[in-house]
Chain A
Amino acid sequence: MMMLEKQEVTLEKGLLDFMEKWKDKPGKEIMILHKIQEVYGYVPRKVAMEVSRVMGIPLAKIYGIITFYHLFKLQKPGKNQISVCMGTACYLKGGNDIIQEIEDLIGVAVNTTSEDGHFSLEVVRCVGCCGLAPVMSINGKVYGNVQKSELPKILGEYSGKEANANG
């Protein structure tokens, strides 16, 4: 195997501590990826390479895992992450329509990020509030019983705030 060169990236301290704690544990790979994603919001290529080098985990193995599990992301998510539930209860109560409406409203397709990096849209499976169906969340805040007609207002809250913050 080709030896990876040291990457020009300094790993965040929390991640380094975590790697130190887990380094001798079998089966550490997935837990470390979770930590990377917690720190960076996704798994940046440089970080994956550096972790591979430091921990001695083949890069192919790391990418094999990332591509197998739905939760790991290779692309940087938007500033505002919209997740729409498509579990059974939400599907029955019109989750599909919610997704379509959001796509139309902000021009972002499922699993992509808007060009300005402002919003990203993803579909999730059951967030465990099925009685509230249809359910969506933005940056972790859960919205239940979502009506299509409420979407412009809900999304508006985020575009406004962020736009100001960005100057």
Chain B
Amino acid sequence: MKKYIIVWEPDSQKGSPVNNALLKILNEKQLAEKMEIIRSPFIGFTSSGAILRVMPDNLIYTGFRVEDLEGIVNATLAGDRVDKFISSYDNKFLPVEEKDPLSRQFKIVLRNVGYLDPESIEEYISRGGYKALEKALFELGRDGVIAEMKASGLRGRGGAGFPTGLKWELTKKEAGEIKYAICNADEGDPGAYMDRAVLEGDPHSVVEGMIIGGFAVGCTQGFVYIRAEYPLAIERLEKALKDAREMGLLGKDILGSGFDFDIELRWGAGAFVCGEETALIASIEGKRGNPRPRPPFPSVSGLWEKPTFINNVETWANVPVIIEKGGKWMGSIGTEKSKGTKVFAVTGKVKNPGLVEVPMGTTIREIVYDICGGIKDNKNFKAVQTGGPSGGVIAEKYLDMPVDYESLQSIGSIMGSGGLIVMDEDDCMVDVNKFYLQFSVDESCGKCMPCRIGGKQILEILEKISKGNGEMTDIDKIYSISNAMQKASLCALGQTTPNPVLSSLRYFEDEYLAHIKDKKCYTGKCKDLVQYTVIPEKCIGCGLCATRCPVKCITGEKRKPYLIDTKACIKCGECYNVCKFDAVKRG
């Protein structure tokens, strides 16, 4: 039987050494017939080193070095194992029912990612795939599917959190023969990759979800609108569609039920606003992706003016599990108003960045500290940002707040699609918000004034503040421009552009004030507002800073205090970072 070695390497590992070494061994030993190496974006838990999962044996290896790989490959071929690298992590396949106490994760969406070859429909089926479709077609019927979806309490994972069952029901109720189902795989939030992991790691879960949704609502055609920047996801999805068609799971008369449904891909072309549903529809129609006012909502008049419903990748991947296990089961997981799990892409200043899937109601502290190992380099936590450029910051005092749609909104952030960016003491709020504003300004489609002009004005104010020219009236200006944008922008992009600034003003106003009044940026990110100087009392004269300074503007004699020529200094911060005696002052 062919063996599969599924490889997960921490993002922080450069150049995928384990994957490459395995491929080399396979090549040298000519094992292509007997063994396959699959890179996976997720394997069940995160770690600071690489993880291997050998299938179908389902063994997990950790703690090995590249030199040990040959031994592992040999043992695998012989049907044996290398005990000393077998992980203490429970090797059994975790059924979706349970929250796993070791990894603290709970896998519904990522149930198969890292367990199977995403290009094999047989493996998906052998793990219970397409059973939910059968149940939907032959047991539940259209109304039964919608009833289960409503009972599950599932809400859209693309950001807005609209109840999925209700959306389906509304579209089903519309008159008309032709209706469309769309999967939103535009994943626009910069710094997030949950949807990519699902599409690359388990494309059939999305395909199955869409067939079930198409059946319930009464569609004959579905579209996946996918980022062109994700070539591997596109390739695997195309393969999944082809295989499903060949097996009679997609196309005419699916499984002999008389239901016809097919799915096609349409590529995005690098416009964030096309994640917005009316813009997405315009883009599939082959036009510029300008949003249009709603109503009419897509459920009434969507793609080519037909009733249309759109769900996010992660939303779709939940569907087969809900249908198979029942809406009530899903309804028992999570908090009162947010059911099920959420996948987060945890990045930024955290020790073990990666994907995590946790039940709704898990706290930010559990995610950042217990699952992802806490802040990198023992620095101090500053904030977490969720919801990307439409979201906001979560300050330290809310670390123990359970994550769900309502609680995040109550503190001025949003659930968003799952990007979770950890910031530490070195990150400056003014600087970070300049980034978000620049993003929104670049991505504004320009159709309406408040968004086109307001975003630019706020960005200019932030730039002014970061250069040391800020005035106290600037804060008021930010509030009034934001207000206008929130009220008068046509689509959610413009309405939410001010969110990150507003939320950071709410929790980090003192930092803005330091920039405006004291003309100081204590993180050193705003280069016009920082100076590096040597504190003579602390400097032991080791000379390390002088050798590291890229412009050689630090001089001195060994064992005597060194001196920085502040005129020549380019404020790179290298001296501050390398001095082991805290003798360089940033301020």
Contacts and interface: CB of A to CB of B under 8 A. Distances in A.
Is B truly associated with A? yes
Interface of A: 26-31, 33-34, 64-65, 68-72, 86-92, 97, 124-133, 144-145
Contacts of A26: 285-286, 304
25 contacts: A26-B285, A26-B304, A27-B285, A29-B286, A31-B266, A34-B228, A64-B288, A65-B287, A68-B289, A69-B270, A69-B271, A70-B270, A88-B385, A88-B421, A89-B421, A90-B191, A92-B427, A126-B189, A127-B229, A128-B196, A129-B11, A130-B191, A130-B192, A131-B12, A132-B12
The 5 closest A-B pairs by CB, nearest first: A131-B11, A88-B191, A69-B269, A87-B190, A71-B270
Contact of B354 (A27, A87, A131): A131
B432 interface: yes
Contacts of B385: 88
Interface in B1-47: 10-12, 14-15
B193 A128 contact: yes
B10 to A, nearest CB: 7
A72 B270 CA distance: 8
Contacts of B388: 88
A68 B353 contact: no
B348 A89 contact: yes
| Residue picked from A86, A89, A124, A131, most chain B C-beta under 10 Å | A131
A26 B14 CA distance: 44
B423 interface: yes
B349 interface: yes
A65 B288 contact: yes
Interface in B264-285: 266-272, 283-285
Contacts of B228: 34, 71
A92 B354 contact: no
Contact of A144 (B14, B230, B304, B439): B14
Contacts of A64: 288
Interface string B442-483: 000100000000000000000000000000000000000000
A132 B284 contact: no
Contacts of A68: 271, 288-289, 445
Given A87-B190, A92-B432, A30 B269 contact: yes
Given A26-B304, A126-B191, A126-B193, 5 more contacts: A26-B285, A27-B284, A91-B435, A92-B423, A145-B14
| Residue picked from B12, B230, B347, most chain A C-beta under 10 Å | B347
B419 interface: yes
Interface of B: 10-12, 14-15, 189-193, 196, 228-230, 266-272, 283-289, 304, 345, 347-349, 353-354, 385, 388, 419, 421, 423, 427, 432, 435-436, 439, 445, 572
Contacts of A33: 269
Contacts of A70: 269-271
B531 to A, nearest CB: 19
Nearest to B46: A131
Contacts of B345: 130
Contact of A92 (B283, B286, B349): B349
A129 B232 CA distance: 13
A21 B228 CA distance: 20
A88 B418 CA distance: 13
A132 B190 contact: no
B126 to A, nearest CB: 29
Contacts of A128: 193, 196, 229-230
Contacts of B193: 126, 128-130
A65 B274 CA distance: 13
Nearest to A129: B11
B269 A89 contact: no
A130 B418 CA distance: 13
B15 A144 contact: yes
Contact of B266 (A30, A65, A97, A125): A30
Given A30-B283, A92-B349, A131 B10 contact: yes
B435 A131 contact: no
Contacts of A89: 191, 347-348, 353, 421
Contacts of A34: 228, 267, 269
A69 B289 contact: yes
B452 to A, nearest CB: 14
Nearest to A29: B286
Nearest to A32: B286
B511 to A, nearest CB: 16
Nearest to B281: A27
Nearest to A149: B550
A72 B300 CA distance: 32
A165 to B, nearest CB: 24
Contacts of A129: 11, 193
Given A28-B286, A31-B266, A144-B15, A130 B271 contact: no
| Residue picked from B10, B11, B189, B436, most chain A C-beta under 10 Å | B11
